[in-house]
């Protein structure tokens, strides 16, 4: 149970703010609160009463006062973000004690655990502008969607944005392989298959492989080829709360997990080779994706046959045109090393991606 006593909690500013302050001598309650802080990815400060250190009570982003400690903090300075936490659902006096200490909320465990985890995660991570989230999907097999997704992510990271690249295609071979990091330490999708509710954004980011200054959530080489849509929802929501950009490489089939990913996107980019069969196939993909995603655009790959160019492809599909995806000469030469798509800052693919981000960030009001 969680109940409001006065006003809503203050909005958190962007950026990481630190963990909450816990005030209690109840060892069982403390164990529960520490467990919930760990689930939210936060490290709390613990005291038996109002901290002696000046400013600790005032500056903590959230204060969790055990019902046993209400009398000991009665004389503390009034502040926002105080939660009185107890266990006795039948104790009517808890509301009086909450008013006495200026608590904004009364919360009873275990019923209010999920609410509290969400609140702790909010103040620990900071809740600012969500990440601009872009999905890339091929109009047909081999269209180059994974290459473009990697290039967009590499370019975003090079521009100094916090960037997460998500591989939503379990049959695609793994984006970590495309980035040259298949042996990099970190978690892959199967580790999140049982995720429910809230996933800490900071904990998610720190658990993933870091390649080329960005974080990558890819598939391993095991047998699992799907995760439940609830897990997709929890993981992508956590990624979006961290801000910056999220790039999702999508498969062409639309199952429940992919549909959940589509609901998290701000923009979708459909990559279509300039071929009539590819345009026909892309039309079917666009119809399926468009049932969930409103902002779907097309990026066209040449070369072009007579009578067909990027504008004509966009017209045939009835979609806004992002532009022509250029050829990256280095990617056509396997002997040139393991540099990922878009790694050459002055290469044509990197320039295309940089222009895409400049436009998309302005449209999103994030620039």
Could you read off the pLDDT of 61-96 as tens digits, one per residue? Answer: 899 999 999 999 999 999 989 999 999 888 989 999
- Answer yes or no: are the C-beta atoms of 58 and 79 closer than 8 Å: yes
Task: Say if residue 94 is in the same domain as residue 211.
Answer: no
Residue 64: give its domain's CATH number.
3.40.50.2300
Task: Say if residue 136 is in the same domain as residue 37.
Answer: no
Helical residues (DSSP H) of 248-317, grouped into ranges:
256-263, 276-290, 310-317
Last residue of a domain, one of 107, 125, 143: 125
Residue 219 lies in a domain: yes
Task: Say if residue 95 is in the same domain as residue 137.
Answer: no
Residue 12 lies in a domain: no
Last residue of a domain, one of 74, 107, 125: 125
Paired residues of 185 in beta bridges: none
- Strand intervals (E) in the chain: 2-4, 21-23, 45-47, 63-66, 82-86, 105-108, 132-138, 163-167, 210-211, 214-217, 245-250, 267-273, 296-301, 321-325
Total domains present in the chain: 2
Least Cα distance to 187 among 166, 159, 162 occurs for 166
Residue 44 lies in a domain: yes
Residue 8 lies in a domain: no
- Answer yes or no: are the C-beta atoms of 145 and 250 closer than 8 Å: yes
Mind listing the pLDDT tens digit of every residue in the chain (367 residues)?
A: 444 333 333 333 344 456 899 999 999 999 999 999 988 878 999 999 998 876 789 989 899 999 999 999 999 999 989 999 999 888 989 999 999 999 999 999 999 998 898 888 877 776 668 899 999 999 999 999 999 999 999 999 999 999 999 999 988 888 999 999 989 999 999 999 888 777 878 889 999 999 999 999 999 888 888 889 999 998 998 899 889 999 999 999 999 999 999 999 999 999 999 999 999 999 999 999 999 998 999 999 999 999 999 999 999 999 999 999 998 876 666 555 568 999 999 999 999 999 999 999 999 876 5
Task: Say if residue 148 is in the same domain as residue 237.
Answer: yes
Task: Say if residue 92 is in the same domain as residue 27.
Answer: yes
- The alpha carbon dihedral of 11, 15, 21, 27 has a sign of positive
Instruction: Look up the pTM and report it.
Output: 0.73
Number of Cβ atoms within 10 Å of the Cβ of 18: 16
Burial label, 248 (beta-carbon count in 10 A; 0-12, 13-18, 19+): buried
Residue 253 lies in a domain: yes
Task: Say if residue 112 is in the same domain as residue 147.
Answer: no
Residue 2 lies in a domain: no
How many residues are given for the chain? Answer: 367
Task: Say if residue 341 is in the same domain as residue 223.
Answer: yes
Task: Say if residue 201 is in the same domain as residue 268.
Answer: yes
State residue 24's pLDDT score.
97
Distance CA 73, CA 48 (A): 10
Residue 11 lies in a domain: no
Task: Say if residue 210 is in the same domain as residue 341.
Answer: yes
Task: Say if residue 118 is in the same domain as residue 262.
Answer: no
Strand order through the sheet with 210-211: 210-211, 214-217, 163-167, 245-250, 132-138, 267-273, 296-301, 321-325
Task: Say if residue 107 is in the same domain as residue 246.
Answer: no
State residue 333's pLDDT score.
60
- Answer yes or no: are the C-beta atoms of 198 and 121 closer than 8 Å: yes
Last residue of a domain, one of 109, 125, 141: 125
Paired residues of 333 in beta bridges: none
Residue 165 lies in a domain: yes
Residue 161: give its domain's CATH number.
3.40.50.300
Task: Say if residue 114 is in the same domain as residue 176.
Answer: no
Domain that holds residue 143: 132-366
């Amino acid at each position: 149970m969680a109940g409001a006593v006065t006003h809503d909690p203050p909005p958190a500013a962007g950026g990481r703010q630190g963990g909450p302050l816990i005030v209690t001598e109840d060892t069982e309650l403390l164990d529960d609160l520490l467990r919930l802080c760990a689930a939210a990815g936060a490290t709390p400060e613990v005291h038996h009463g109002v901290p002696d250190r000046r400013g600790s009570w005032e500056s903590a982003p959230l204060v969790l006062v055990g019902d046993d400690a209400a009398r000991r903090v009665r004389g503390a300075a009034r502040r926002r973000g105080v939660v009185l936490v107890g266990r006795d659902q039948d104790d009517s006096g808890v509301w009086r004690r909450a008013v006495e200490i200026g608590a904004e909320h009364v919360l009873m465990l275990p019923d209010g655990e999920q609410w509290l985890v969400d609140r702790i995660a909010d103040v620990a991570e900071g809740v600012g502008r969500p990440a601009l989230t872009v999905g890339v999907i091929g109009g047909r097999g081999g269209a180059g969607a994974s290459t473009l997704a990697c290039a967009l992510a590499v370019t975003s990271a090079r521009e100094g944005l916090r960037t997460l690249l998500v591989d939503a295609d379990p049959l695609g071979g793994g984006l970590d392989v495309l980035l040259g990091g298949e042996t990099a330490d970190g978690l892959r999708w199967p580790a999140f298959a049982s995720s429910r509710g809230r996933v800490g954004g900071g904990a998610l980011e720190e658990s993933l492989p870091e390649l080329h200054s960005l974080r990558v959530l890819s598939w391993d080489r095991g047998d699992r080829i799907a995760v439940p849509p609830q897990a997709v929802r929890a993981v992508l929501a956590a990624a979006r709360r961290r801000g910056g950009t999220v790039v999702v490489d999508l498969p062409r089939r639309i199952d429940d997990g992919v549909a959940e990913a589509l609901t998290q996107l701000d923009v979708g980019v459909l990559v279509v080779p300039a071929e009539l069969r590819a345009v026909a196939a892309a039309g079917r993909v666009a119809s399926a994706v468009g049932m969930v995603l409103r902002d779907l655009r097309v990026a066209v790959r040449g070369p072009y046959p007579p009578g067909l160019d990027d504008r004509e492809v966009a017209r045939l599909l009835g979609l806004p045109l992002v532009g022509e995806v250029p050829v990256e000469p280095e990617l056509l030469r396997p002997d040139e090393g393991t540099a990922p798509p878009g790694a050459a800052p002055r290469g044509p693919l990197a320039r295309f991606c940089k222009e895409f981000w400049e436009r998309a960030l302005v449209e999103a009001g994030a620039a």
